[in-house]
Amino acid sequence: MTTRLHMALAAALILGTAGAAAAADKPTDPQIAHIAYTAGALDVDMAKLAISKSKNKDVVDFANGMVRDHEAVNVQALDLVKKLKVTPEDNATSKALSEASAAEKAKLEKLDGAAFDKAYVANEVAYHKQVNGALETVLIPSAKNAELKSLLETGLKLFQGHEQHAEMVAAGLK
């Protein structure tokens, strides 16, 4: 169901950061900011799809929470890059995230009712898990600016919270 997203993100992270050139390929702060912002914005898009399609209150409530939280953290991210005079820089990981998310969205758009709810929530669990892995192993350790690192750490706690929340919603759908 979410294999494509996993593969694309894993590949991008491996190719972009831990591949042949290893340390030299660590993402820079402008790239990290772009990846983190993109990850949040994509989840907001997916949530808006769920709000328009789902009739399940738990699913809609969850999706509204995703919009609220990710928009809030992205406002903080934009404020920070402005303050640091950093211009977020597009990169292979951001592109892979966007492509994988577009493919997943196309699949979800074809589903309705309980099938949609299940697929959306399962994808949310997988997506947050994947982004958490990237934050923990690549983005946070690579971040040079202390304020960016701190925002990413709060972002990690937020994403971990969302992953657990999605798991709770998923359990309720069975």
Q: How far is the CB of 156 from other proteins (least distance, A)?
A: 9
Alpha-carbon distance of 109 to 150, in angstroms, equals: 36
Of 73 and 143, the one with the shorter C-beta distance to other proteins is 73
Q: Residue 8 and residue 153: Cα distance in Å, rounded?
A: 24
Q: Which is nearer to other proteins, 10 or 51 (CB)?
A: 51
Residues lying near other proteins in the complex (CB under 8 A) = 65, 68-69, 72-73, 75-76, 153-154, 157-158, 160-162, 164-165, 168
The token duo for 69 is: 């939280």
Least Å distance between CB 73 and other proteins? 7
Rounded-to-integer distance, Cα 33 and Cα 109, Å: 29
| Nearest Cα residue to 31 out of 16, 41, 49 | 16
Measured from the CB of residue 115, what is the shortest distance to other proteins in angstroms? 25
User: Closest distance between other proteins and the C-beta of residue 62, in Å?
Assistant: 9
Query: Between 87 and 164, whose beta carbon lies closer to other proteins?
Result: 164
| Shortest Å distance, C-beta 137 to other proteins | 18
The residue among 34 and 128 lying less far from other proteins, judged by its C-beta, is 128
CA terminus-to-terminus distance, the chain: 17
Closest CA to 158 of 35, 74, 96: 74
Instruction: Please identify, using beta-carbon distances, which residue of 99 and 167 lies nearer to other proteins.
Output: 167
The percent of the chain in helix, strand and coil, each rounded to the nearest 5, is 85, 0, 15
Tokens, residue 170:
């998923």
